[in-house]
Structure formats: C-alpha cells, structure tokens
Structure 1
Amino acid sequence: MYAYIKGTFVSVRGDNIVVENNGIGYKIYMPMLLQGRIGHIGDEVCVYTYHYVREDVIALYGFPEPEDQDMFELLLTVSGVGPKSAIGVVEVLRPSELAMAVLQGDIKKICTVKGLGKKSAERIVLELKDKLKGFDMSSVEDLGDSSAVISGPAQSELEDCISALVVLGYPASEANKAARSAYEDGLSVDELIRRSLRLLAK
C-alpha cells in the first residue's frame, strides 16, 4: 500500500520510529541499527516501507534505502522466513553481503543474524541460489553498456556481481546493464554490487 513515507522524523520508541506527514504520525517498525541510517529527530526523511497485513497483525516495516526494502520482500519469499527474521537480516547484512553469502554458501555469515538458526540460514541460501538455475552468463554478456570493455580478472568480478544481483531478484538483463555501467577499475565485488544497486534503485 505504501511504497515510502516522506515527513518529519518525530521520535524513536525502541524499535519503532514515528514519521509525521500532514498531521498524521506513522508508527514504523525499524530496528535501531537501521534507524541510524535515516537521519536525526527533526530531520525531513524518506522511509521506504512494507505494509504487512495478517489476520492478527497490521504493521509498517521501514527501511533507509529501496534496496533494503527489496531485500526484505525477497526474504519473505523464502519458506519459513517471516517479517521479524527478514528485517533481522536487513539490519545486519547489506544486500551485497547477503548476495555474496548466498553465492558462496556462507551459512555462518547469515547465522550472525540474531534469532536466525542454521536451518533457516540454509533455506535462505538454497532457495535464493535457485534463482541462478538456468541462468547463462553468456546470454547477457553482450548487453548493457557497450563502452565497458572488460576482460581478465575483472570479468570474473563482473560476473560475480551480475550473479549476486540475480540472486537479489533482478532480471539478468537489468543486472548486466547496471553492473557494466557501475564498473570501474579497482572496485571490489562488494563495492560494485552496491553501486549497481544504487543504479537499479533509480
């Protein structure tokens, strides 16, 4: 229902913030580590939101960036992962970190999320990695920014970035175009993923 809410950052109440817009105060669930990324009380802020509705629960979950919101929604597609676990992952891991953990099968990295057990972490890796099934890098390598001629070790980094973006739910053609546009010599895979995500969020 709500993609984002713009307004005045009024208060913090534990894991909830209040943003006022046109005289209405919106109570938004946002863990403390995420709160520090949106600004200070009194600032005009933009909070990206997910409206969660169940028979006994109606809640707004808030995120500093649209890619955090996208990752939250992606995690909800994993069997057994509810909103509390999903936002716990968003609080601890940036999208680039989650994507690389999935690609590398790094269960321990995902288990650093408080309250997330090994079985849930394994399901996240298994189900998100499934998005790469049938994905052929050669089918997209000639698309995107033709000015970005990339070869050698850098090609491997670019492919890792594109695979990570596909894991995060982006279409292969869009992932390829964003990665090639974001590429610069010397960037780590993590930095390249972050730059690509910013381009995809525009």
Structure 2
Amino acid sequence: MLQHLQGIVDSIENQYVVLDVGGLGFALLCSRSVLARAQRGGNLRLYTSLSVAEGGILSLFGFSTPEERKLFDMLTSVKGIGGKMAMGLLGTLEMETILHAILSGSPVLLASAPGIGRKTAERICFELQEKIKKTPLLSQTIVVPELSGQSTVAAAVLQALESLGFSLAESREGLQEALKKTVPPDSEEQLLQAALQSLTRRR
C-alpha cells in the first residue's frame, strides 16, 4: 500500500496538488493543512491514502500527518461518506475543529463544510464520538473544553466562522452582532446563520 510520497510541487489547483516524484506526476486531493504549506517548486512530503471507486476509478489523497489520515479513514467508515466528501471536510475545516465538533457533539461545525448536510453531520458525530475517544492517536490531539450553556454554542460558532475563512476579529464581531439578536442561545445553526449574515453585509 502507498504510505507516503515526497517530491517537488509541480502545481496547485483548487484542492489538488500535483507532486513530481522522480519524473512521475501524482495528483492528490489534499487537506487544508497541506494546501496551507504547499508552494510550487517546493519540496513536500505527504502521507497518502489510495481509494478505488466503482468502475476502477482511482483517487489519491494527501495529508500532513498520520493523524489526519487516521481521521480521514474514520470519516470514510461512516455510511454515506466517501473519500471526496471526507476530504471536503478536511479541506474546509482544520483537523482540530472536526475533532472538537465530533467529541463535543456539535454537528453545526461539520455542516458548515460544503456538501455536508445537518443529518450527515449528526451521523458523523453519533458514529465516531466514542470511536475517537478510544483512539489515542486522535483523542490526544485535542482537548475539548468543558463549557456549558450559551458559552458552548458561542465557542462552536466562533470556531465555525474561523474555519470558513473569517479572521478571529471578524468572527468575534459577527458573533457579537448575532448574540444581540433574538436567537435562541441553544441553537448553533441559527446563531451561525445570523453571524454569517452580519459578516456578509459588511463585506
């Protein structure tokens, strides 16, 4: 099995990195952390996962760490989650954010990623929460803060906004505006939507 690749970055397009390894070009669908450090012409080492879909179509995925790859494998073990959908999560959200969402049972964080609906996000949390707690490679990666009530909701929404590309300052401002409105404090989805509306109007 292909465990890792190391070579020169030939090109970067959307979520794909083409890695030149000894004259062979490998196109890998990569995680957010990989895309953040990949530079054209630079040397890059990636942990990999090879997927074979129906019809024999091959897909190669690239990760920064073994932990990312392990999380990817666990995501694809959930019914209805294929490689591209799992990488869509890892391409949009930081690994720590995904782990926080699952361990704290906050599907709204996962549902902020393109292609992930609320029901799918809830299924991911339900199926993987206990498995991740029992997987040292992942459970030791993040400490879930012991928060309660509105602070839990606000913290989750703040993380979701940052994962969507807003700066910490923008996220805090959008969250503060949303909290001023009549949004139920236990509704992450409505609070996130209100914050996004506030931030969109400013841009």
Question: Which range, TM-score by smaller chain?
Answer: 0.5 to 0.7
Report which stretch shifted further, 63-72 or 78-87. 63-72
Counterpart secondary structure, 1:46: strand
Residue 36 of structure 1 corresponds to 35
Structure 1 or 2: more helix by fraction: 2
Q: C-alpha root-mean-square deviation of aligned residues, in Å?
A: 2.6
Deviation of residue 72 (structure 1)? 0.8
Contact kept? 1:11, 1:18, Cα under 8 Å: yes
Unpaired segments of 5 or more residues in structure 1? 132-164, 183-187, 192-202
Alpha-carbon deviation of 1:35?
A: 4.6
Any residues of structure 2 matched to 1:145-164 within 5 Å, and which?
A: none
Could you state the TM-score of these two structures normalised by the residue count of structure 1? 0.62
Deviations 1:145-177 (A, max 9, x none): xxxxxxxxxxxxxxxxxxxx526x337xx96xx
Gaps of 5+ in 2: 146-203
Number of aligned residue pairs: give it: 144
Aligned match of 1:189 in 143, 152, 169? 143
Residue of structure 2 in register with 1:53 after alignment: 52
> Given the superposition, is the C-alpha separation of residues 29 and 100 from structure 1 closer, same or farther in structure 2, using an over 3 Å criterion?
closer
Q: Give the letter aligned to residue 189 of structure 1.
A: V
Q: Counterpart in 2 of 1:152?
A: none
Matched, 1:118 2:118: yes
Q: In 2, distance between residues paired with 1:190 and 1:38?
A: 26
1:77 shift after superposition = 0.7
Query: One-letter code of the match for 1:127?
Result: E
Task: Give the structure 2 partner of residue 102 of structure 1.
Answer: 102
How far is the alpha carbon of 1:110 from its aligned partner?
1.1
Counterpart residue number, 1:159: none
Partner of 1:129: 129
Superposition TM-score, scaled by structure 2 size: 0.62
Q: Report the secondary structure of 1:9's partner residue.
A: strand
Shift, 1:10, TM fit: 1.0
Partner of 2:133: 166
Instruction: Give the drift of 1:55.
Output: 3.0
Q: Give CA-to-partner distance per residue, 1:5-31, whole Å, 9 cap, x none.
A: 001111123332211111111111226
2:6 corresponds to? 6
Aligned identity (percent) is 27
Which letter does structure 2 place at the counterpart of 1:112? S
